[in-house]
Amino acid sequence: MELERFFIWQDWPAEKQKLFFAALVAALAFVLFLIWSGLHESQLSAGRTTLQSKLQYSKTVPLVEQLKAGEASRGALIDREPMTAAQQVARDLGLDNRLTSIRPLQAGSSSGEGVQVVLEALNLPEVVSLMRDFNVRGGLKVTSFTINHRLDSPDLADVQIILVR
């Protein structure tokens, strides 16, 4: 083999050699562009994933804090009388102005120590919070629950709850 004929383009005319090298440079630039665009897209994707994770984290932090606060207050009112515990739960939730009646159960009832609570114009999240706090914070169990829709506002309801310990 002759060393002078080592490169295949040596025998080509000058114009074909120029075209070949220009195509070679263009192909190399295209490959480099593909590599760069792939890396750039993966970096953008990682940034989007990080942003999405931060957003999800920011949504869950208040829920976790609320759960921690709920766990810390678990049974906080269990040493109080049922009426006092029910009043405190309603007050803490800001429902004391909608508390229309709270009275102890009759002495002859078989349920034991308990209270009847009547509240007006509650929405569903307030009812759920109220029921949760009666159970978690006050240690009170619901034996009877009556809910009536309000005619003046279909989103609100009046509730009557009988709680015992």
> Helix, strand, or coil here: 161?
strand
Per-residue model confidence (pLDDT) at position 136: 87
Residue 3 belongs to a domain: no
Per-residue model confidence (pLDDT) at position 52: 96
One domain, residues 68 and 88? no
Domain of residue 44, residue span: 14-73
What's the token pair of residue 70? Answer: 């709920």
* Residue 144 CB neighbours (<10 A): 12
One domain, residues 69 and 88? no
One domain, residues 63 and 93? no
One domain, residues 25 and 62? yes
Confidence grade of residue 113 (pLDDT, cut at 50, 70, 90): confident
Confidence grade of residue 105 (pLDDT, cut at 50, 70, 90): confident
Rounded average pLDDT over 14-39: 96
Per-residue model confidence (pLDDT) at position 3: 55
End-to-end CA distance of the chain: 103
Confidence grade of residue 150 (pLDDT, cut at 50, 70, 90): very high
One domain, residues 23 and 94? no
Per-residue model confidence (pLDDT) at position 119: 97
Residue 66 belongs to a domain: yes
* pLDDT one-digit tens code per residue, 29-62: 999 999 999 999 999 999 999 999 999 999 998 8
> Does the pLDDT at position 72 exceed 70?
no
> Does the pLDDT at position 97 exceed 60?
yes
Nearest alpha-carbon partner for 119 in 101, 144, 103, 104: 101
One domain, residues 86 and 146? yes
Give the number of domains in the chain.
2
Query: Regarding predicted confidence, which is higher, 70 or 47?
Result: 47
> Does the pLDDT at position 2 exceed 90?
no
